[in-house]
Amino acid sequence: MKQLTHILEGFGSTLQLLLRSLSYIGTLPRQRGRFIEQCYLIGYTTLPIVAILSFFIGSVLALQAGYSMQNFGAKQFIGSLVGLSMARELGPVMVAILLAGRVGSAITAELASMKVYQEIDALVTMNIPPARILVLPRLAAVLVMVPVLAIIADLVGWFGGAIVTKYVSFISIEPEAYFSVLRRYMKFKDVLNGLIKAEVFGFGVVLVCCNIGLNTRGGPREIGAAVTRAVVVSLILILVLDYFVTKALL
């Protein structure tokens, strides 16, 4: 019962934070500097790890598919399998998980530290709402940067699959054939669905991580605990949302 109350309280406070942040949306144009800084942190600095992971996920997907499909002569369809898997599922989920681990944890650590060392209290006494200057720019930045990251993840993953299908001897499919099948079976809707999923996951992760950071109480030890909780809650949220958003988009 206590756990349930705790979960419902967390849900309520996250929703309140969202509504409070959205109420300051008119201030976004004059927060350009903070918005651009967050775009840089969320997008640019996450890009290398997204690219590396996407490349190898696409590669491994092609390798496993090639190994399994060669037995029943369907290896020419590897392109469509890698393409659809990356666009509809693996790309958005992987980007969201990387955001939770890399960006979400950093957001929680920063905000929890500001809370513990009374910087948040100082903002409140100055009548500067933390939701306005600390949460809103991050939410706006994640909405802009996540689709970019997801598209790059898709493209690099497809490219990784193409490399493997060409150079692994038991697959040996030319890139032209690989991409031709990929294009034939992929629809714009598949990519769009993936981008919608990435957007929902990324937004949820940043919101949850901000809320956990801003509600941290205690000392330095609680900062670490808050970061762990933020990452765990984010991962659960991604997987739960994944099911429901996928079902809604089918």
Pull the structure tokens for residue 99.
Answer: 């955001």
One-letter identity of residue 199:
E
Q: Give every CB contact of residue 189 below 8 A, 6+ residues apart in sequence.
A: none
- Residue 3 makes contact with other proteins by CB under 8 A: no
- Residue 155 makes contact with other proteins by CB under 8 A: no
Contacting residue, 126, 169, 170, 188, with other proteins by CB under 8 A? 126
Contacting residue, 11, 52, 70, 121, with other proteins by CB under 8 A? 121
The residue written with tokens 């390798």 in the block is 63
- Residue 122 makes contact with other proteins by CB under 8 A: yes
- Residue 23 makes contact with other proteins by CB under 8 A: no
Q: Is residue 165 helix, strand or coil?
A: helix
- Residue 133 makes contact with other proteins by CB under 8 A: yes
- Residue 119 makes contact with other proteins by CB under 8 A: yes
> How far apart (Å, rounded) are the C-alpha atoms in residues 238 and 93?
7
The residue written with tokens 């901000």 in the block is 210
Contacting residue, 19, 74, 128, 239, with other proteins by CB under 8 A? 128
Smallest gap from residue 118 Cβ to other proteins (A): 4
- Residue 25 makes contact with other proteins by CB under 8 A: no
> How far apart (Å, rounded) are the C-alpha atoms in residues 203 and 57?
23
Smallest gap from residue 181 Cβ to other proteins (A): 50
- Residue 250 makes contact with other proteins by CB under 8 A: no
Asked if 201 and 241 touch (Cβ cutoff 8 Å), the reply is yes
One-letter identity of residue 50:
V
